Amino acid sequence: MNKEQLMGMARKTLENAYAPYSKFPVGAALLLKDGTVVNGVNVENVSFGATNCAERTAIFTAIANGYKKGDFQAIAVAGDTEDFLPPCSICRQVLAEFCMPDMPVYLTNEKKDILELTLKDLLPYAFTELDM
The answer to whether 88 is a known ligand-binding residue is yes
**Closest listed residue to residue 6, CA positions, set 26, 42, 30, 33:** 30
The answer to whether 91 is a known ligand-binding residue is yes
The answer to whether 99 is a known ligand-binding residue is no
Distance between CA atoms of 67 and 42, rounded to whole angstroms?
21
- As annotated, the active-site residues are 55
Rounded to 10°, the helix 54-64/89-98 angle is: 30
Known binding-site residues equal 53, 88, 91
Known binding-site residues for Zn(2+) equal 53, 88, 91
